A and B are shown apart, each in its own frame.
Chain A
């Protein structure tokens, strides 16, 4: 990892090889030597991660495709995987079922009163589809699908949104190049902040009028498994 950590490991190995009196003598010697307590103590907090260990845990994909794993998947393979792993909740055509979100549709609705956010209408980048399917799908089973299945599903999802042709092959190279319709629809900070006014007397031009009132009883209140009367 770095030189001083390596040296320390050698020193420990050497120590282990010593006889006990020799160790005692060395410890006595070390006790006299000036030690940077902070550095020394910090050294044994945390265990170095090897490249192999990092490869196992480093599972994510950025908009530019950084982090996408090796492999690829076709739209056809994706359709098969979709019917097996996804259709039960998202519907046979990705239309959404009950509370489970639709995976397509909603183009042109973002600036209306009822915006529908789907992969095609809202998501800004295609590697993000791979990232989310990999880490979060099927629900509750993070990273349960192999990368080639996730590539195939990503290809299928992009295809049913009309974003790629049916011969598209999803891979670390192809995904960042897919043009998502809403890629420019996201704004980075700083954002405007709403402000009130600290007026203390006669603060309204017109007397207040009740425009809307919540129903007395809030429907569907649950405490644990029990619905409250």
Chain B
């Protein structure tokens, strides 16, 4: 909208009015001011452009465009604030770190590839697809090595799924610490993934009787390795593309495991080895990490499915309310157990709820956008969203969650989040009692 502001500015300057004065009026006010200003300037009528800037307007309201044919397009420079961010005090290692998706700035359900959240355990390897091999061995009849070309000759399928880090919401278990949906929920993204079925690859190798677990190993600096139970093999994909283009390096280029609805760390990136065995490996990354410690000191292994969850992205700490009147609540819901069936929204801290409208498409194990219009007259609000999935799971409050989980478990926080909308329109992350 900057070109419009500039146009206004020109006329405003001509009439001795400051740009600041116009901005204070807001957009509707600006339009009204425009009309009166044009009248006072002695023009009989707006020019043929109907008040819109045109190339023929004196001085040229349009900025010179950028040349067409830029080899790889980038967002408008005016969107430079829509970026991944990270927290200096969380995972400060250069190799083991995480960055968060700016959920509050995104619409719909697809995360642009450059904004997909990151969680790296030891850097981003640079892998040449020409020499890349996926090697499959262990309890198989025919241990095989597959080039990327080999894999692409198998039947390809595309599916849209969310991917969520097990640690999403970890900072909020004990109390609200971060005041941005980017940091409360931004270890979450959603892409259309393209690849081949794990079972098609395993069929070529011939799975032996007794094979019950599979070790998936990545080619990063920790040779990140996780055990995958056999009941998850049917849905697992080996993906090489996201949102229509090759995987980004930080998402596992050239190949990653994708098991829809499971914790991000199970979806091993830079996947280069699969070993089949009769028992889990119990690697450090599924025992000392990514196991959920309970209050009694025991830890739950293989808590792999991301439970039903949701969050309101507007209003949110990043998207405060700027005026009274008509507003629209907008947010996202997701569940590792299937489709989202309903999302309810409360404006009064969970006393009363109303169902939000779900935006199509509603896909299994995929982000679902919900919206709800409402009128705001400047009163304080306590906004909450509560998702229900097709398996009948209802998103719990913190109180309900802590009946069966522990705040010490770090991972798997799917509790209902509360945004406090203050009379000024500012939004704060709060915990209710």
Contacts and interface: CB of A to CB of B under 8 A. Distances in A.
A188 B273 CA distance: 25
Contacts of B405: 194
B93 A213 contact: no
Contacts of B388: 198
B91 A199 contact: no
A212 B431 contact: yes
Interface in B216-260: 217, 220-225
Contacts, number: 267
Interface string B349-364: 1111110000000000
B30 interface: no
A218 B179 CA distance: 6
A124 interface: yes
Interface in A185-216: 185-189, 191-204, 207-216
B300 A187 contact: yes
B170 interface: no
Interface in A56-100: 57-64, 66, 98-99
Interface in B105-135: 121-123, 135
Closest 5 CB pairs between A and B?
A: A208-B349, A111-B297, A220-B88, A46-B144, A110-B297
Given A45-B153, A123-B284, A196-B416, 15 more contacts: A45-B150, A45-B204, A49-B136, A60-B283, A62-B277, A135-B223, A136-B224, A140-B222, A142-B223, A189-B300, A189-B302, A196-B397, A203-B351, A214-B177, A220-B89
A200 B284 contact: no
Given A221-B85, A227-B88, A196 B396 contact: yes
Contacts of B123: 140
Interface of B: 83-93, 95-96, 121-123, 135-137, 141-147, 150, 153-154, 175-180, 183, 204-205, 215, 217, 220-225, 273, 275, 277, 279, 281-284, 287-288, 291-293, 295-303, 307, 317, 342, 344, 348-354, 382, 386, 388, 393-397, 400-401, 403-405, 408, 414, 416, 420, 426, 428-433
**Interface of chain B: mostly helix, strand, loop or mixed:** loop
Contacts of B394: 195-198
Contacts of A111: 295-297
B36 to A, nearest CB: 39
Interface stretch (A10-18, A125-133, A167-175): A125-133
A117 interface: yes
Given A45-B146, A139-B122, A214-B179, A123 B297 contact: no
30 contacts: A2-B142, A45-B146, A46-B142, A47-B146, A48-B145, A53-B145, A54-B143, A62-B282, A110-B293, A110-B298, A117-B293, A122-B299, A132-B288, A139-B95, A142-B223, A186-B300, A188-B302, A193-B307, A194-B404, A195-B394, A195-B396, A203-B351, A208-B348, A209-B432, A211-B431, A211-B433, A213-B429, A220-B87, A222-B86, A224-B83
Given A57-B273, A185-B299, A223-B83, A208 B382 contact: yes
Contacts of B288: 117, 122-123, 132
Contact of B393 (A117, A195, A217, A221): A195
Contact of B395 (A131, A192, A196, A207): A196
Nearest to A5: B142
Contacts of B395: 196
A66 B223 CA distance: 18
A219 interface: yes
A210 B175 CA distance: 11
Contacts of B89: 219-220
Given A131-B281, A211-B432, A212-B176, A193 B393 contact: yes
Contacts of B420: 210, 213
Nearest to B92: A99
Given A110-B293, A208-B348, A215-B179, A128 B283 contact: yes
A81 to B, nearest CB: 18
A121 to B, nearest CB: 10
A136 B122 contact: yes
A122 B284 CA distance: 10
A123 B302 contact: no
Q: Which of B205, B293, B342, B354 has the most CB of A within 10 A?
A: B293
Q: Which has the most chain B C-beta neighbours within 10 Å: A46, A185, A213? A: A46
B145 A46 contact: yes
A196 B221 contact: no
